Structure 1
Amino acid sequence: MSKERKELQRARMFRYFLDAATDVIEEDGIEHMTIRKIADRAGFTASTAYNYFKDLSHLKFFAAMRFTSEYVKELPSYMDLGTNIVDKWLYSWECFCKHSFEEPEIYSVIFMDNLGSSPQQLFDDYYALHTHDLTGVPEELHAILIEYDFSKRSALYIQDAVTEGYIKKENVPLIADITLMVWKGMMNTYMNRRRGYSKEEAIKRTLELVAECVISVVEPERRSEITFRP
């Protein structure tokens, strides 16, 4: 069998299992996924699934990524609401919070769970097979969306805020890490019902904290230009 034919067969088998995993998630929730359930739905044995996916966490990740398409699709329109680079970044956070708190189990699998291997490699593998997911997304957002590390995503985007004089260069890594930790902390609190937040309350509080962190490092003479409000 030629290399090209093997790759086509591999891609086809991936689709079979991911289609089955998508059905299982929609019916039972991602927390109830098992390799056996997915293999049965796909019409193969569990051992066959392991020929294509390292373990359940690997398959969960690929399946979860399919549920982020609405976030990717809506992101440009949210960012268009901003009138400057910092505003646009904060609106991108609003879009992310809207979708992540709507489906916390999905986004937890992608950005919080132990995946047992290189998360960036999984991201690369996913988008190699699903390039159509980025169809219609502005080119300048591609590099950000295919970066797994969320703090690096933020850093990639807000570099322009340094160029435009909104934020000092040395503050970029700090604010990228802090905002990520704010989201992870609130997501953990929300999923474990530690404070009894509703989805809307969790989103609002996360955005309040993110905005406060970001605006605190904006140069004082530029802060009046930031119009974003949670």
Structure 2
Amino acid sequence: MKKKIQMSRMWQYFVEATAEIIEEEGINKITIRKVADKAGYNSATIYNYFSEISHLIFFAAMKFLKPYTDEVSTYMDKGNNPLEKYLLAWECFCKHSFQHPQIFHAVFIMDLGEQPENLLERYYQIYPEELITIPEELKPILFERNMSKRGRSYLELALKEGYIKEENIDAINEITILIWQGMFTNILNNRRQYTPEEAMQMTMNYITEIVRNQAVFNFG
């Protein structure tokens, strides 16, 4: 038990050192050597806790995701049915991802090697206090890194309540993700000079149109 606590503390030292570098220099400036120097250990020690640097970056980036995870339930509470909640969830996700593209890339898109689905669960095991304000029904979604699976959960609720047809779920889910990915890539790579607010509004206009066109009846 004592050894497990010590390992957890060491893990946190390295994650928090990485988060400090993100704040001071930016996510693209992270190196194992910088993290080791800031944490006061040698580089080899880090690999006892993290199999690759992408995992370290992922966990540190998660610490900057809290404003999004705190706000998404407030957004969704405004919805009166699953499709409205689905759109509001996307609006909140667009708002934060376009404001902090490097962070969201590290969490949701970056190649994390094998078994990336275990990393979110590992993070919340170490930082359980970050789940205190999250409603129970949202926790399974927050533990899911896969964008397709995250979106599908609320679409399945809409199906159960008769708002959409089963044959339309995959189309709605995949098209909305592709719309976001297209705009996100533009923002991440500075291909278009949109403000985060402009990017969010344009993306939500397209996503809303897709969802409304596929709905069985008008809503909202």
Q: Please state which band the TM-score falls in when normalised by the shorter chain.
A: over 0.9
Q: Which residue of 1 aligns with 2:205?
A: 208
Q: Which residue of 1 aligns with 2:110?
A: 113
Distance 2:178 2:108 in 1: 11
Q: In percent, how many aligned pairs have the same letter?
A: 44
RMSD: 1.2
**TM-superposed deviation, 1:6:** 2.2
Please tell me the residue identity of whatever aligns with 1:182: I
Q: Spell out, residue by residue over 1:85-137, the C-alpha distance to the aligned partner (whole angstroms, 9 max, x if none).
A: 11111111111111111110000111111112222021222122222221121
Are the aligned partners of 1:24 and 1:38 in contact in 2 as well (CA < 8 Å)?
A: yes
**TM-superposed deviation, 1:196:** 2.2
Q: Which runs of 5+ in 2 are unaligned?
A: none
Are the aligned partners of 2:17 and 2:35 in contact in 1 as well (CA < 8 Å)?
A: yes
* TM-score, normalised via structure 2 length: 0.95
**TM-superposed deviation, 1:193:** 2.2
User: Is 2:165 the counterpart of 1:168?
Assistant: yes
The residue matched to 2:64 in structure 1 has which SS? helix
User: Is 2:146 the counterpart of 1:149?
Assistant: yes
Q: For 1:173-212, what aligned pairs fall within 5 Å after superposition?
A: 173-212=170-209
Q: Which residue of 2 aligns with 1:23?
A: 20
Q: 2:56 aligns with which of 47, 55, 59?
A: 59
Tell me which stretches of 4 or more aligned residues in structure 1 moved more than 3 Å.
none
**TM-superposed deviation, 1:173:** 2.3
User: Is 2:77 the counterpart of 1:80?
Assistant: yes
Are the aligned partners of 1:25 and 1:33 in contact in 2 as well (CA < 8 Å)?
A: yes
**TM-superposed deviation, 1:214:** 1.4
Please tell me the residue identity of whatever aligns with 1:151: S
Please tell me the residue identity of whatever aligns with 2:20: D
Aligned length: 220
Please tell me the residue identity of whatever aligns with 2:110: D
Q: Which runs of 5+ in 1 are unaligned?
A: none
